[in-house]
Structure 1
């Protein structure tokens, strides 16, 4: 049997319908946890395709490739350690429930669109909402799992005042 035939047999079919939505939601949550709150560049590496890039409304081509994403995460995480320039800093990204839309891209992957908010931990242990954005992700199916191929991050802004002003 040829290597191609063996690899074809080993590859699982890409999820569809509710299973696709659940798989993307799971990968999205794990990716952002590794990048933000978990601050784990090694884990993050497993969620990103080799040809990854990130385009950002405020920075343009913010991350040109996977190596830059992983190295940037390592540097940010190291700065949070004791003696680092941002010792003790912590932030998190939270998905906005109900905002996710997933669309299948043939058998190659999926497009995910959604909104998220960003939070920073304060000295008293509480989390403060610091902003939000919309994101568009292109996820590639590997035959086993989805990896993030491209991230487009737009509509960044300050956190809306809370409670909202009365009309």
Structure 2
């Protein structure tokens, strides 16, 4: 019996291979992809399971308008599930759709030692009007802390800070020629 268990015990005693934090270019690419997937799933797809896969268990979100929005991944996902249900046919906000776009050129990524990275940038928000067109309704800045998960070989969002929310910028800008 012991001879049958030996390989299993040896496998458990041997540490699993872990991937190091990638170099900055690769790290930035992974963060851009994860950020895009996160906001697509959260805003347009209304897909809580997809968002859950991108968040660390101890995820928390701070927002200048709402304070501590979520103190854990579970609480954030539960809140998102309620919001998605409200958008569904028959829900209190049936048909509501919104979109978030990162402002091109505003994103910076800085490694945080061997355990993660800090992403900073600006984003703008849109809502779909009754005629189907998208209307920019505001903008803000953000800082996201991504934790490197060496056994998974990928990043998970551990903390998000969203601040400086304001009205949409005038468009076209003052003084621009049509």
> Partner of 1:161 in structure 2?
170
**For residues 65-110 of structure 1, what are the alpha-carbon distances to aligned partners after superposition, in whole Å with 9 as ceiling and x for unaligned?**
1111101111111111111001111101001110000000111000
**1:6 match: secondary structure:** coil
Residue 158 of structure 2, aligned match among 145, 149, 152: 149
- Distance (Å, rounded) in 1 between the aligned partners of 2:14 and 2:97: 47
Q: Does 2:60 match 1:53?
A: yes
- Distance (Å, rounded) in 2 between the aligned partners of 1:71 and 1:29: 21
Consecutive unaligned residues of structure 2, counting only runs of 5 or more, are: 1-9
Q: TM-score, normalised by structure 2?
A: 0.88
- Distance (Å, rounded) in 2 between the aligned partners of 1:38 and 1:4: 42
> Partner of 1:135 in structure 2?
142
Q: Does 2:55 match 1:83?
A: no
Consecutive unaligned residues of structure 1, counting only runs of 5 or more, are: none
Q: Does 2:100 match 1:93?
A: yes
State the aligned residue count: 165
Q: Does 2:67 match 1:28?
A: no
1:40 offset after TM fit, Å? Answer: 0.3
1:4 offset after TM fit, Å? Answer: 6.3
**For residues 43-74 of structure 1, what are the alpha-carbon distances to aligned partners after superposition, in whole Å with 9 as ceiling and x for unaligned?**
10000000011111111112111111101111
When the two chains are superposed, the root-mean-square deviation of aligned CA atoms in Å is 1.4
Rg comparison, structure with higher value: 2
- Distance (Å, rounded) in 2 between the aligned partners of 1:150 and 1:107: 17
Decide whether aligned partners of structure 1 residues 20 and 79 sit closer, same or farther in structure 2, where only a CA change above 3 A counts: same
1:3 offset after TM fit, Å? Answer: 3.7
Q: How does 1:64-75 map to 2 (within 5 A)?
A: 64-75=71-82
- Distance (Å, rounded) in 2 between the aligned partners of 1:124 and 1:4: 61
Q: TM-score, normalised by structure 1?
A: 0.94
